[in-house]
Amino acid sequence: MLKVSTDTEGLARVTLDRPEKHNAFTAETILELTHAFTALGQQAAVRAILLAGNGPSFSAGADAGWMRAQASAGDEANRADAMRLSDMLATLNDCPKPVIAIVHGKAFGGGVGLAACADMVVATPDAEFRLSEVRLGLTPATISPFVVAKIGAAHARRYFLTAESFGAEDARAMGLVQAVSDTPEEVAQGWFRNLLLGAPGAIADAKALVRDVAGQTISYSLRADTAERIAARRADAEGREGLAAFLEKRKPKWSA
């Protein structure tokens, strides 16, 4: 259900591979994604992770058969299953490596959740997004922290309730997608080339910085925390190497 590979430059590819079901999630898919992103996030040779879907769609969300089975499960099993989905999304969202997603075809329900957990998303012009849960008598509860963080409450209040489809350009306007292109692989490769210019540890810290600062009140404690972070970076080996390379007009070791 999942294909994982890493090239010589450090771009790992995680491909949803259930094309006959539009890459709909099952319990197995969720565990595979959790394990893959946990492992790749810990590998020094990996510089970024590209998430994509094989076949006609990126992901149509939860598999209907899996959801039907959970509906008849006991309360404890049902909650545990929902928490595994939440854990998977958090693993993607908090992965120390940059995550790039290529979205094409359908991205419904949990597929929107996956896109929301990526750092950069490029969609094809024909991509179709839908938060479809209410039409099944459900809500997008598990994916909501990640989706609302990306698109904001105003858009969520519309699309969570209407479950109407929206296209790639609308997704870009609301911040779910950063680029729309007929050649999404080229866009993704362009982002990757820029990522290779940055220090790996600094990129991981910068990603965590966005997560920790977003939505916070500018208080003394927040300012003290961010001052501590830059002080630590200056004293770090990467920080010293980066500044030395700049002053010596050479490439830093991580991009040489």
Domain with residue 213: its CATH number is: 1.10.12.10
Q: In 3D, which of 96, 68, 75, 54 has the Cα closest to residue 195?
A: 96
Q: List 25's β-bridge partners, or say none.
A: 62
Number of domains in the chain: 2
Same-domain check for residues 88 and 130: yes
Alpha carbon 192 to its chain centroid, in Å, reads: 15
Same-domain check for residues 101 and 224: no
Overall average pLDDT of the 72-97 stretch: 91
The residue out of 195, 211, 242 marking a domain boundary is 195
Using pLDDT thresholds of 50, 70 and 90, give the confidence band for residue 256. low
Overall average pLDDT of the 229-253 stretch: 95
Using pLDDT thresholds of 50, 70 and 90, give the confidence band for residue 20. very high
| 200 Rama class: left (phi>0) / alpha (psi -120 to 50) / beta | alpha
Same-domain check for residues 185 and 214: no
Same-domain check for residues 146 and 236: no
| 221 Rama class: left (phi>0) / alpha (psi -120 to 50) / beta | alpha
Distance (Å) of CA 56 to CA 53, 97, 103, 194, 227 = 8, 27, 10, 29, 47
Identify the domain containing residue 224 by its residue range.
200-255
Taking the model in full, what pTM does it have?
A: 0.95
Q: Which DSSP letter does residue 225 get?
A: H
Same-domain check for residues 207 and 190: no
